[in-house]
Amino acid sequence: MNQDIRAYNNVLELIGNTPLIRLNSILKDYPGNYYAKIESFNPGHSSKDRIALYIIEQAEKKGILKPGDTIIETTSGNTGFSLAMVSVIKGYKCILAVSSKSSNDKIDMLKNMGAQVYVCPAHVKADDPRSYYQVAKRLHEEIKDSVYINQYFNELNIDAHYASTGPEVWKQTNGKLTHFVACSGTGGTISGTGKYLKEQNSAVRVLGIDAYGSVLKKYHETKEFDPNEIYPYRIEGLGKNLIPSATDFDIIDHFEKVSDEDSAHTARALVKSEGLFLGYTSGAAIQGVKQMAEQGEFTEDSNVIIMLPDHGSRYMSKVYSDDWMNDQGFFDSKNEKDVLQVQF
Ligand code: PMP
């Protein structure tokens, strides 16, 4: 090895330490300073690289994983891609049970990263044998020397963000942040980062973004699981039809619900206003911030850090397809600013 050549030893060394970028345009009508933490700068293009590496390395430390073993997970796509990437470098097999709601782009990416993929129906109950939870559980029982990551019910998901995202945000802001905003899916990001930040300064407000069609906000407010809250929605990776134990509800001060349509328009507006080509939940996060700003959550002195979880390239056949937007009826709305391509 030539010591003069400054190179990373492998792609995993690039995980974490993502940049904070000031938002100059999209939130300019609201009081406060807004900064986005751009998780697509991770080598697997999402925040899930952090938990994939952390959980696998914890299992290695405990002697649970050895080269050649199999890693199994349920995933909306991003966690799968990160696990598959870590598996390539560390020599594991990777099997993923994926929701049929995931875009084809995401599924193809997983396969190309070497994972074996099972696509499971999105709109069945979690305890249905066809659900991606049950499929993953069954595969774990059947395959010897396999580890089930189980991100929704794995405390290490919280620990991963407590160990990396939290300290990064604190350092990058010199402790001057007033609000931390993150989408909640497994809840790992908001819980781990929020816990670290509140330990440094208990006044930091931790704000979660939830989807219409998900139970999280209602559960947070009432401590009761209300199945009437559940209905299909299109945003991938945000909200849930069950209560994940990887969510620490006590850390979260408020949940804001966002719609598929508003989030899609906001994701597209983020590209055009800030040059940030990011995922559907990044649009959801900014949309939630707008709504909370309108409710008076922020003042001129607020320093708001917004986690933007993944890259736009994963949504070419969805949010960034005019045809898809049109099929959803999203172009019928009054707030539409995009212009459909003229057909000749
Ligand atoms: N956005 C996207 C695109 C995701 O895949 C996820 C993870 N499911 C989230 C947001 C939410 O992150 P977390 O699971 O840490 O709550």
Ligand 1: residue whose CA is nearest its atom 10:
237
Q: Residue 318, class by beta-carbon neighbours within 10 Å (0-12 exposed, 13-18 middle, 19+ buried)?
A: buried
Nearest in space to 32 (alpha carbons), one of 204, 263, 289: 289
What is the CA(102)–ligand 1 centre distance, in A? 13
**103 and 59 inside one domain:** yes
Catalytic residue among 37, 48, 106, 240: 48
Query: What pTM value is reported for the model?
Result: 0.94
Q: Are strands 179-183 and 33-38 parallel, antiparallel or unpaired?
A: unpaired
Tell whether ligand 1 has an atom less than 6 A from the beta carbon of residue 279. Answer: yes
Structure tokens at 195: 């816990």
Instruction: Supply the range of the domain harboring residue 110.
Output: 47-148
Pick the atom of ligand 1 nearest to 77's CA.
Answer: 5
Q: Is residue 32 part of a domain?
A: yes
pLDDT value at residue 104: 83
ipTM over 0.95: yes
Q: What are phi and psi of 35, to 5 degrees?
A: -130, 135
Pick the atom of ligand 1 nearest to 280's CA.
Answer: 3
Place of tokens 């649970």: 64
Annotated active-site residue 48? The verdict is yes
Q: What is the mean pLDDT of residues 227-244?
A: 93
**204 and 320 inside one domain:** yes
What is the CA(316)–ligand 1 centre distance, in A? 18
Q: What are phi and psi of 46, to 5 degrees?
A: -155, 165
**207 and 64 inside one domain:** no
- Choose which residue among 48, 105, 255, 278 to substitute to test ligand 1 binding: the one with the highest number of ligand atoms within 8 A of its C-beta: 48
Tell me: the pLDDT tens digits for 272-319?
999 999 999 999 999 999 999 999 999 999 999 999 999 999 899 999
Structure tokens at 48: 């899930």
**267 and 203 inside one domain:** yes
**51 and 34 inside one domain:** no
Burial code (b: 16+ CB inside 10 Å, e: under 16) for 219-251 equals bbeeeeeeeebbeebbbbbbbbbbbbebbbbeb
